[in-house]
Amino acid sequence: MSAHPRRIRLKPWLIAQVDSNQYPGLQWVNPERKLFCIPWRHATRHGPAQDDENTVFKAWAQETGKYSEGVDEPDPAKWKANLRCALNKSREFKLIYDGTKDTPLQPYKIYEVCEGPPANGDTLAGEDQGYCLGEEEEELQKMTALTIADPSQGAEPLPPYAWPKQEASYPTPCGSSSFTLLPPAGAAAPTGPFAAPGKLPVPSPGGSLPLAALPDLPPADEALQPMEQFVPDLLISPHMLPLTDLEIKFQYRGRAASALTISNPHGCRLFHSSLPATREQVELFGPVTLEQVRFPGTEHIPSEKQRFYTHQLLDVMDRGLILELQGQDLYAIRLCQCKVFWAGPCATPRPGPNPLQRERKVKLFSLEGFLNGLILFQKGQTSTPPPYEIFFCFGEEWPDQKPKEKKLITVQVVPVAARLLLEMFSGELSWSADSIRLQISHPDLKDKMVEQFKELHQLWQNQQAEPAPWPMQASSMQQ
């Protein structure tokens, strides 16, 4: 059992820790303004165990007598909660920026040291501060209601989406059969960061904030070598792209629950129910030709409160959410009683939450629009690449002030063809053509789309023909 809590002044102790440079990331970002940064790894972002061994949170717990090495069970979440409560109570520290509330999440907080004597004195560790909730539990305590359609209010006054009485296979530009482009079994899926790092809220005069390091990327010539043969072939023959493939990732409160890739030319239905979809119940569950994708279970959720609220949502997802492929576009049809909110390339820009109306067909992604955006980006007429990721939030309003990692159930959907095209032109696709199992169908795409691919191919050829920019700059400086 640990020793009795000791009465420690927070301000001089914490300033001394910042000055010591003893803890990674704990540093001054603006000494003149007395601003310092504390790394604040999100509770759902699990790293190596040793990451918790040398932190200011552990040091504060030891200093105040609330943790003794070799005596007490290590509890990094409790250590962090104790220091957070002490900072919140203190009048001599002011929270300037909380990256854990930002979107995308930034794993640090910035505090200001306030000058002058505080009104009620600095925090004295050891005083009875009451029970201090952890961040995860605190968020769940605030959860008062989930957005589920109230059956007592009747159906939402919207025209229902009319399913065809007889199931018909949806026509695709390449005929009735599909085509997929997948790595062989056991091969690692290609990865690469695309999002630009967020702007720092407070610039550092002598260095940068301790943001998470980006993964190492292979050298440019190594990454581009296999693509020199692969990219032109795909652009000349776009039917080789996996136009029907969708990557789907489920997250429960920021933690990965499951991930899969579907290759159904009709799309899929995300649901949670023991009732199977049948041909006789198309109006209830949608066409049986859809891939049936069940939400993952909750047995791995550690928090009892979180499991309770998650089950409340899953219990009203019997009918599910349809993701329907039609031509080269992706649509959503919400059937379930659970309300669904979303963000994506085709979402209308608007402040506040963006709901999917029940039984209303909504376009999520257009390959034609993506290709137009990619062409403009490659020509330098736009500064950012076109978006292609789609996010759904179930049972809670979104987008709002909370990051996605705080939501009970979120699902990310990625059209694989769009991701591959962007990776090709970003030089970040590292797997070679011989690792791909191609299943090619009839190349019968619309003329307009073929023209777009031709233009992309021409842009690629122009890029390969252009000399490197550095010698050009050097020669111009010599002149």
Question: How confident is the model at residue 135, as a pLDDT?
Answer: 60
pLDDT at position 395 over 90: yes
pLDDT at position 49 over 80: no
Q: For residues 299 and 75, what is the distance between their CA atoms, to the nearest angstrom?
A: 22
The token duo for 391 is 């996010």
Q: For residues 13 and 93, what is the distance between their CA atoms, to the nearest angstrom?
A: 13
Residues 403-460: tens digit of each pLDDT:
999 999 999 999 999 999 998 887 654 444 444 454 444 545 566 787 788 888 888 8
Residues 153-196: tens digit of each pLDDT:
554 444 455 654 433 333 332 233 332 323 333 333 333 322 33
Contact at 8 Å (CB) between 400 and 147?
no
pLDDT at position 277 over 90: no
What is the pLDDT averaged over residues 400-404? Answer: 89
Residues 299-323: tens digit of each pLDDT:
999 999 999 999 999 999 999 999 9
Report the candidate in 310, 271, 269 with the shortest Cα–Cα distance to residue 286: 269
Question: How confident is the model at residue 120, as a pLDDT?
Answer: 47
Contact at 8 Å (CB) between 241 and 181?
yes
Name the pTM for this structure.
0.53
At residue 410, the 3 state secondary structure works out as strand
Report the candidate in 290, 344, 330, 324 with the shortest Cα–Cα distance to residue 417: 330
Report the candidate in 282, 394, 12, 333 with the shortest Cα–Cα distance to residue 159: 333
pLDDT at position 197 over 50: no
Angle at Cα 166 formed by Cα 161 and Cα 172, nearest 5°? 80
Task: State the alpha helices, DSSP H only, in 282-366.
Answer: 282-285, 304-314
- Those residues whose C-beta lies under 8 Å from the C-beta of residue 93, and which sit 6 or more positions away, are 10, 11, 14, 87, 111, 112, 113, 114
pLDDT at position 331 over 90: yes
Q: Per-residue confidence at 42, pLDDT binned at 50, 70, 90?
A: low
- Those residues whose C-beta lies under 8 Å from the C-beta of residue 304, and which sit 6 or more positions away, are none
Q: For residues 337 and 168, what is the distance between their CA atoms, to the nearest angstrom?
A: 26
Q: For residues 331 and 350, what is the distance between their CA atoms, to the nearest angstrom?
A: 19
Angle at Cα 24 formed by Cα 23 and Cα 30, nearest 5°? 90
pLDDT at position 364 over 90: yes
**Strand 321-326 relative to strand 93-98, pairing:** unpaired
Buried b vs exposed e over 3-41: b needs ≥16 C-beta within 10 Å? Answer: eeeeebebbebbbebbeeeebebbbbbbeeebbbbbbbb
Q: Per-residue confidence at 129, pLDDT binned at 50, 70, 90?
A: very low
* Higher pLDDT among residues 122 and 378, named by residue: 378
